[in-house]
Amino acid sequence: MKKLIGFELKKIFSRRLTQGAFALVLLLSAILGFSTYQNKYAFDGAGREGTGKEAVSIDKAVAERYAGTLTDEKVQRMLADLVPKTGENEINALYIYHNATQSAVSTRFADRYGGWNGSTVADVFGEGEVTIGYVDGWLSTSRNLVKILILFSLFLMVMTAPVFCGEYGGVDQILLSTRYGRTKCAGAKAVACVLAALLTTVAVLALNLAMAFTFYGTEGLDCSILFAQLTYIEGGIPFNITCGTMLAYQALLAFTGALGVVGITLVFSAACKSPMVALAASALLYGLPVLLPVSEVSPLFRLVVLFPTYHAQFVSLMSVEQMGGGALYALWAIPAGVALLAGGSVLARGIFAKYQVS
């Protein structure tokens, strides 16, 4: 069985289309990560201005001045030190960007003229303790990962779609006629797909996180995601979690999403005669939950959001509920992903077992 699994793995990774698609995912990861870093901009309000590496250095220096627990006193200091003051007919102060810390305090605590809007820390964030610091780099990394993981899901479909239907007329004809036949052959294919998905997921996450550590360092991993500029979709997560916790969940959801995608695609690969048809059907089903007219306040959404699409676009899943002990509802993605994989593998194996050699 081990040799058969190894044989199937070799077939998966030897396909030119799989190699090209995976190389494209890695290349786009590198381009997106580097371009995001290079396009960073910051101005400290005292004459120091820069982009790229210099902007990150400026943002870190500004954030360091106010790092720690967010208090009303710190808010007043930031408003006085960082937020530009504007007149009656001048641009709204909320739309002026100098650096990440200034933007975060402006959007929550400043009025249109750059003065205090009257809100306290408790008014904005509740009674919990909010730890602030340099989070811009990690939130950028998370935002990029959302895009990359959606693309990576499509790669997994490209990789998995030919596993059954792409070879019904080839080597599998021989295997189906032997003692391995319809049981071990199908099982080896499913196991090989899972291993390939896990290995490639590790590679994609490793590349993106390695670039993030190189560009931004480790600062901010213990800081709350709540105190950041509003342009980040991660701001839609209403819970006071750290950047490190957010990235840990996102990495976990990358694996659960990969398992779910493989499970879905295996079924279509076994049921369809053409890899292209299997790929199209898998992609259609993958995107379907986003098109369903189910609002986020509907009880049904708690089930819809467990579909692999929302594992990649993770903000909605992360925003559902905070359970006991601080754990998030997103942990239900683990049994959901495993169930999709198990169900898809069993169904694909059953379809493949009924295939008759011509």
Mean pLDDT of 193-220: 97
Residue 315 domain-assigned (yes or no):
yes
**Are 218 and 345 part of one and the same domain?**
yes
Whether residue 181 has pLDDT greater than 70:
no
End position of a domain, from candidates 104, 131, 158: 131
Residue 201 domain-assigned (yes or no):
yes
**Are 50 and 187 part of one and the same domain?**
no
**Are 104 and 185 part of one and the same domain?**
no
**Are 174 and 259 part of one and the same domain?**
yes
d(CA 227, CA 14) in angstroms, rounded, equals: 46
Mean pLDDT of 270-286: 94
End position of a domain, from candidates 109, 131, 153: 131
**What one-character DSSP code corresponds to residue 92?**
P
In 3D, which of 179, 70, 181, 180 has the Cα closest to residue 132?
70
**Are 101 and 186 part of one and the same domain?**
no
Structure tokens at 156: 């997994």
Place of tokens 């933007």: 103
Residue 171 domain-assigned (yes or no):
yes
In degrees, to the nearest 5, what angle opens at C-alpha 341 toward C-alphas 20 and 29? 30
Residue 182 domain-assigned (yes or no):
yes
**Are 60 and 21 part of one and the same domain?**
no
Specify the pLDDT at position 271. Answer: 92
Count CA atoms within 13 Å of residue 76 on its CB side. Answer: 5
Alpha-helical (H) ranges within the chain are 2-14, 16-38, 53-65, 72-81, 100-109, 121-125, 136-160, 162-165, 171-176, 181-216, 243-271, 275-291, 301-304, 308-312, 315-318, 333-353
Specify the pLDDT at position 55. Answer: 96
Specify the pLDDT at position 356. Answer: 47
Specify the pLDDT at position 168. Answer: 56
The parent domain of residue 124 ranges over: 40-131
Whether residue 306 has pLDDT greater than 60:
yes
Whether residue 123 has pLDDT greater than 90:
yes
Mean pLDDT of 252-275: 96
Mean pLDDT of 159-163: 94
Residue 358 domain-assigned (yes or no):
no
Q: What residues contact 160, with CB distance under 8 A and at least 6 apart?
A: 193, 197, 261, 262, 265, 266, 269, 282
Specify the pLDDT at position 133. Answer: 95
Whether residue 193 has pLDDT greater than 80:
yes
**Are 63 and 212 part of one and the same domain?**
no
Specify the pLDDT at position 166. Answer: 65
**Are 28 and 46 part of one and the same domain?**
no
Residue-wise pLDDT for 67-84, tens only, equals: 999 999 999 999 999 998
DSSP 46-88: SS-EEETHHHHHHHHHHHHHT-EE--HHHHHHHHHHTSPP--T
* Number of structural domains found in the chain: 2
**Are 173 and 146 part of one and the same domain?**
yes
d(CA 42, CA 52) in angstroms, rounded, equals: 9
Whether residue 176 has pLDDT greater than 80:
no
Find how far residue 147's CA is from the centre of its chain: 7
Residue 142 domain-assigned (yes or no):
yes
Specify the pLDDT at position 232. Answer: 81
In 3D, which of 209, 215, 208 has the Cα closest to residue 40?
215
- Split at pLDDT 50, 70, 90, the class of 358 is very low
Mean pLDDT of 215-236: 88
Mean pLDDT over each residue of the chain, to the nearest integer: 90
**Are 27 and 44 part of one and the same domain?**
no
Whether residue 169 has pLDDT greater than 60:
no
Residue type, 262: V
Q: What residues contact 332, with CB distance under 8 A and at least 6 apart?
A: 306
**What one-character DSSP code corresponds to residue 267?**
H
Residue 322 domain-assigned (yes or no):
yes
**Are 175 and 71 part of one and the same domain?**
no
Count CA atoms within 13 Å of residue 69 on its CB side. Answer: 7
Share of the chain above pLDDT 70, in %: 93
Whether residue 142 has pLDDT greater than 70:
yes
d(CA 235, CA 237) in angstroms, rounded, equals: 5
Residue-wise pLDDT for 311-320, tens only, equals: 999 999 999 9
Specify the pLDDT at position 187. Answer: 84
**Are 126 and 144 part of one and the same domain?**
no
- Split at pLDDT 50, 70, 90, the class of 110 is very high
> DSSP 3-state assignment of 13?
helix
End position of a domain, from candidates 97, 131, 165: 131
Question: Is the entire prediction scored with pTM above 0.85?
Answer: yes
Residue 221 domain-assigned (yes or no):
yes
Specify the pLDDT at position 177. Answer: 45
Residue, of 5 and 246, whose pLDDT is higher: 246
